[in-house]
Chains A and B, each alone.
Chain A
Amino acid sequence: MRPAAVEVHGLRRSEGRRRLLDGLELRVSVGARLLLVSRPEESVSILLRVLAGLVRPSAGTVLLAGLSRADDSAAGWARRVTYLAPGAGIYSWLSPNEALDLAGRLAGYDRAERRRRIEAATEHFRLGSGVDRPISRGGAALGQKTSLAAAMLTEPEVLLLDEPLRSVEPLERARLLRLLGARTTILLASRLPASDAGLMNQVALLRDGRLALHAPVADLERAGLPPSMRGIEALADLRAAGLPAAAPG
């Protein structure tokens, strides 16, 4: 068995009376690319935010890249685990270059190392000629691309993506998501799984806060099911009923 990049045990979290995570158990191996979907939809977002340390669970434990909690040293948590929210979250008056420089500073890189990594990220993610102009002039798409480049600046071991790059044109979005390092473990929360399933190799469904399915994406194809929410739910139902994965007839 491959070592785990993400381990979640007994995770619980409610919003008002709704149980979004209800004793969730999940293990994701190193290098996996996991597509996360859920009913209700908010469950996967809250899971990623818990994993990122932005939201406290009411119970349960989390291990990410072998760490049990945020380590505020530059060499620790931030370099190994990162999270990308649906919005860019960066000051829009910063230019992409400045945003990347800020991310590098906060990660504790010296000037030469920052310059090397920023040049690589700018080229890798094709941030274009407007890297010195405010992000606000490039629109939401540039903000999200910059945010992804900033997230990848530290070459994290675990990347948590919550509905990323929705403002980016679909083909470019697919290209960017394919660029993420092969050694990086990726958890991608999606409300449109059909557009993301091709980029991932595993899929997990959370129902009422519990893990209802965790399977290779290829199992959907083998079962003759589409990589949509309906298809993923149908596969979970087949598995729950103990039926073979292959679709009858």
Chain B
Amino acid sequence: MRRFATLVGLALRELWLSYRLLTILAALVAAALPVALLPQLPALTLAGAPLERPACFAAGLAGALALVAGIAAGTLSGERGRGTLAWLAVRAVPRTTVLLAWFGAFALVLALGLAASVALAASSLDDAQVASRPTALIAVSGAVGAAGLAATASGLLVGTLLRPIAAVLVTLVLVGGTLLVAALGPPGWSPLPAAGLAVLAGFGDAARPIADAARASGTALAVAAGLLLLASARLERIDL
């Protein structure tokens, strides 16, 4: 456990010094800026319906989470290429431990950024929506966080397969597309691991947001665990 904590600290410092940590935090906070700062959103419509504030926020978060996943992919792939993963492996650090340490570091940054983003966006939502349902908002935020974890795990898996630039691009396209469909897609349909964004997008009208968020969180966490298992299996087999 002490070794894992050492590796998480190392990963966080690497993210900080390479400005990736700040980029992630800035992207997550920026996702909330349009709904927080604009008294009236531009008259955007989606499938003939006006784009509500929660849906606009969800779309912004989809982009930010895709960026997190892309950075995760490029990071792990870069660790392989630079030989730092080999340096750790030679010191008998299990490759899976390194993978989980990076996942843990991204999860911490994601939690921090998402908390700031939701707090900022919540200030702009209708008082009736937030004041009467703070528990629901927290549950939905958790579901979005779980979707972010699944996105991060996807990025790490792609990072074990491709070189850095290819890994980033493929992750941005695949994960970004999935998250945007969830945030802006037709009501009642969304890719399961990203369903938290759909719940957030429909937050104003949702009848049972807590139940929906719990279901979305469970699915996303299960998918994240499955993706991490795949990434671990792949990482244990590749040459360093």
From A54, A77, A91, A147, give the contact of B10 (CB < 8 A). Answer: A91
Contacting residues, chain A, for B10 (C-beta < 8 A): 91, 102
| Contact present for B239 and A49 (CB under 8 Å) | yes
Q: Count contacts on B: residues with CB < 8 A to the other chain.
A: 22
- In the bound complex, what is the Cα–Cα distance between A210 and B215 (angstroms)? 58
State whether the Cβ of A178 lies closer than 8 Å to any Cβ in chain B: no
Assess A91 versus B92: contact at CB under 8 Å? Given A85-B86, A105-B6: no
- In the bound complex, what is the Cα–Cα distance between A173 and B167 (angstroms)? 38
- In the bound complex, what is the Cα–Cα distance between A52 and B86 (angstroms)? 9
Contacting residues, chain A, for B173 (C-beta < 8 A): none
| Contact present for A91 and B14 (CB under 8 Å) | yes
State whether the Cβ of A10 lies closer than 8 Å to any Cβ in chain B: no
From A55, A72, A105, give the contact of B92 (CB < 8 A). Answer: A72
| Contact present for B6 and A106 (CB under 8 Å) | yes
Interface size class, chain A:
20 to 34
Contacting residues, chain B, for A53 (C-beta < 8 A): 89-90
Instruction: Fill in one digit per residue for B1-39: 1 if any A CB lies within 8 Å of its CB, else 0.
Output: 011001000100110010000000000000000000000
| Contact present for A54 and B240 (CB under 8 Å) | yes
What are 18 pairs between A and B in contact, CB < 8 Å?
A49-B239, A54-B89, A54-B90, A54-B240, A56-B237, A56-B239, A71-B92, A72-B93, A73-B92, A87-B83, A89-B83, A89-B87, A93-B14, A102-B10, A105-B6, A106-B3, A106-B93, A147-B87
State whether the Cβ of A70 lies closer than 8 Å to any Cβ in chain B: yes
Contacting residues, chain B, for A82 (C-beta < 8 A): 90-91
- In the bound complex, what is the Cα–Cα distance between A89 and B6 (angstroms)? 17
Q: Number of A-B pairs whose CB atoms are under 8 Å?
A: 63
| Contact present for A78 and B92 (CB under 8 Å) | yes
| Contact present for A89 and B94 (CB under 8 Å) | no
State whether the Cβ of A243 lies closer than 8 Å to any Cβ in chain B: no
| Contact present for B83 and A103 (CB under 8 Å) | no
Closest to B14 in A: A91
Instruction: Fill in one digit per residue for B90-118: 1 if any A CB lies within 8 Å of its CB, else 0.
Output: 11111000000000000000000000000
State whether the Cβ of B88 lies closer than 8 Å to any Cβ in chain A: yes
A77-91 with Cβ < 8 A to chain B = 77-78, 82-83, 85, 87-91
